[in-house]
């Protein structure tokens, strides 16, 4: 006789008034965590599941201490918390507050409403500490899969930074999170009263505070005529530049001019960089990034690290949209210099580790400086390339060429302007007014964007090859065996010269000047 299947009794599950979410960094992007909770009659305790890191497992003790200190009674049951998705490791102390709020829904009638996105570390007395991730939370809200509203509950300092970033995005015309209300929670005991208020809408005109303005630029020294032209050409096209010369001729002073003439980064570039800055525990700064890297830098410092705790940005990602000053470039280790190949060429790089691969944008302008020989003097074999410059060299014969040979062909081929500087480029006249140089660079950029559609350093090979249809220009490359990358690089510099002079067509003299700026190729040989 066939068994009779009896219907199971209907199970009634309590319906939550809302859900609680947290945030973690998966690679370089934010990802959602849903905090789930279950309580059963058993010996009271708290267990956290979902591959928590040690600092998350320790949250159990912080929550058990913060509940009575805030006037709440912890459930007298065995409470199990799951951080979903459970297959991905979680880390950081920002999950303390969302876990505590989710447990509170078991014992407290918190005001119902939209889902909660919370971030904060709990102290033993119930206070809520900052976790320093407001930009990551905004990026997470912008990627919400459904257009539903959220209540964002933050610590006091995070709330302040969150509002500043919202104000900055509004001023730049960037999208804002939709249907989001922000709440400031100094202490866990105030959660019931705070959630009863409507909160501050993310798109309210008065909700965002302005970020501090950049400090005024320091007084500059007027560069010499040739260095002035090099600065303008490099700044108009955002060309990678290498300044080589004997010590004491003002190579470091020219870096201040590069920063002064650099254009403002695009808002989208600034935002991407600010999200990366939080991975290094830095305060997000929307201003022009100009980072200086010393000669002892390692490839990991430049590229960053990629592990179970997500992507920790390196100097290249933190300079996205700005300037990277490479001081004493010749003294860098070979591995560090060679790690710049892909970033300088593609303006991004792929970081491959055991956890997977990650594409990191780094659209930057490299400005490197260095000496011509180990002693920092002027080698006799190079004095003809830098006329009018005096200086003694204590190195044995041939040391300068061996020193410069540290620059591999592929790296030299990715630098648009490898320039030799001499003492005649140093001019100590105080700069009373640099408006002429700034205005020339500004007009050159406007000309390039109107006629090329982009800056010269970003012109595609197809656009550059069209210039060779001009017979006079094509003839200049016929007699010289150079690489395709070298040819395109020279054409990009020539297009910057054309933009500086604002001529309607690229002329042979622009190309000849671009070739003449590469004195280093005369000594080492072209690419």
Give the pLDDT confidence of 21-59 residue by residue, as tens digits.
Answer: 999 888 888 999 999 999 998 888 899 999 999 999 999
Nearest by Cα to 486 from 524, 453, 448: 524
CB 379 within 8 A of CB 392: no
Q: How far is CA 121 from CA 67, 92, 188, 514, in A?
A: 13, 9, 11, 57
Percent of the chain with pLDDT over 90: 47
Q: How far is CA 111 from CA 18, 101, 154, 246, 496, in A?
A: 9, 12, 17, 71, 61
pTM: 0.86
Pairing mode of beta strands 417-420, 241-244: parallel
pLDDT mean over 359-371: 93
pLDDT band at 160 (very low <50, low <70, confident <90, very high): very high
CB 101 within 8 A of CB 33: no
Percent of the chain with pLDDT over 70: 85
pLDDT mean over 2-13: 44
pLDDT at 146: 64
pLDDT mean over 92-107: 93
Name the DSSP class of 307.
E
pLDDT at 15: 44
Kindly compute the dihedral angle of the four CA atoms of residues 383, 385, 390, 392, in this order, to the nearest 10 degrees.
-40
pLDDT at 252: 78
State which H helix or E strand residue 104 sits in: helix 96-104
Kindly compute the dihedral angle of the four CA atoms of residues 511, 516, 518, 522, in this order, to the nearest 10 degrees.
120
| Tokens of residue 469, six digits | 């249809």
- CB hemisphere CA count around 523 (13 angstroms): 26
- Cα separation, 410 vs 512, in Å, equals 23
CB 88 within 8 A of CB 116: no
Angle subtended at Cα 19 by Cα 16 and Cα 23, rounded to the nearest 5 degrees: 160
pLDDT band at 336 (very low <50, low <70, confident <90, very high): very high
- CB hemisphere CA count around 173 (13 angstroms): 2
Widest Cα–Cα separation across the chain:
111
Cα 228 vs. chain centroid, distance in angstroms? 29
pLDDT at 402: 86
pLDDT at 355: 74
Segment among 299-303, 339-343, 517-521 with least mean pLDDT: 517-521
Which domains are assigned to the chain? 20-201 (3.30.230.10), 215-527 (3.40.50.300)
CB 239 within 8 A of CB 233: yes
pLDDT at 5: 47
CB 128 within 8 A of CB 188: yes
pLDDT at 120: 95
pLDDT at 431: 52
Of residues 359 and 27, which shows the higher confidence score?
A: 359
Q: Is residue 503 over pLDDT 60?
A: yes
pLDDT band at 9 (very low <50, low <70, confident <90, very high): very low
């Amino acid at each position: 006789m066939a068994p009779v299947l009896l219907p199971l009794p209907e199970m009634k599950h309590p319906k939550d008034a809302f859900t609680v979410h947290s945030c973690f960094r998966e690679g370089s992007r934010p990802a959602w965590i849903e905090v789930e909770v279950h309580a059963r009659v058993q010996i009271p305790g708290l267990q956290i599941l979902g591959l928590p890191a040690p600092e998350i497992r320790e949250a159990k003790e912080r929550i058990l201490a913060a509940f009575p200190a805030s006037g709440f009674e912890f459930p007298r049951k065995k409470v199990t918390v799951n951080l979903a998705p459970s297959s991905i490791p979680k880390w950081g102390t920002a999950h303390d507050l969302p876990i505590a709020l989710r447990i509170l829904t078991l014992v407290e009638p918190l005001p119902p409403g939209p889902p909660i996105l919370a971030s904060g570390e709990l102290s033993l007395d119930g206070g809520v500490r900052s976790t320093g991730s407001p930009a990551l939370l905004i990026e997470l809200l912008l990627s919400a899969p459904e257009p539903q509203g959220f209540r964002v509950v933050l610590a006091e300092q995070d709330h302040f930074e969150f509002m500043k970033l919202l104000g900055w995005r509004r001023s730049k015309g960037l999208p804002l999170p939709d249907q989001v209300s922000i709440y400031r929670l100094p202490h866990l005991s105030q959660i019931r009263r705070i959630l009863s208020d409507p909160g501050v809408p993310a798109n309210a005109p008065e909700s965002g505070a302005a970020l501090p303005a950049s400090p005024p630029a320091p007084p500059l020294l007027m560069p010499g005529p040739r260095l002035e032209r090099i600065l303008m050409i490099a700044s108009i096209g955002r060309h990678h530049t290498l300044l080589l010369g004997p010590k004491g001729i003002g190579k470091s002073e020219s870096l201040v001019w590069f920063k002064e003439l650099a254009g403002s980064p695009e808002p989208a570039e600034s935002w991407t960089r600010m999200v990366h800055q939080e991975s290094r525990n830095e305060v997000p700064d929307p201003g022009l990034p100009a980072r200086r890297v010393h000669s002892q830098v390692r490839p990991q410092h430049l590229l960053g690290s990629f592990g179970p705790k997500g992507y920790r940005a390196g100097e290249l990602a933190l300079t996205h949209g700005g300037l990277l000053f490479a001081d004493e470039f010749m003294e860098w280790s070979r591995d560090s210099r060679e790690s710049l190949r892909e970033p300088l060429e593609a303006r991004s790089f792929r970081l491959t580790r055991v956890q997977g691969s990650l594409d990191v944008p780094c659209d930057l302008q490299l400005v490197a400086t260095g000496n011509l020989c180990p002693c920092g003097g002027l080698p006799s074999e190079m004095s003809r390339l830098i006329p009018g410059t005096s200086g003694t060299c204590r190195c044995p014969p041939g040391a300068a060429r061996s020193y410069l040979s540290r620059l591999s062909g592929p790296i030299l081929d990715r630098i648009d302007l490898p320039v030799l500087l001499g003492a005649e480029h140093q001019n100590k006249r105080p700069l009373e007014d640099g408006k002429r140089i700034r205005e020339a660079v500004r007009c050159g950029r406007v000309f390039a964007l109107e006629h090329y559609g982009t800056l010269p350093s970003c012109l595609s090979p197809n656009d550059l090859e069209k210039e060779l249809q001009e017979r006079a220009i094509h003839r200049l490359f016929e007699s010289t065996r150079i690489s395709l990358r070298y040819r395109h690089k020279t054409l990009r510099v020539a297009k910057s010269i054309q933009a500086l002079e604002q001529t309607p067509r690229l002329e042979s003299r622009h190309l000849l000047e671009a070739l003449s700026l590469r004195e280093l190729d005369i000594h080492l040989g072209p690419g």
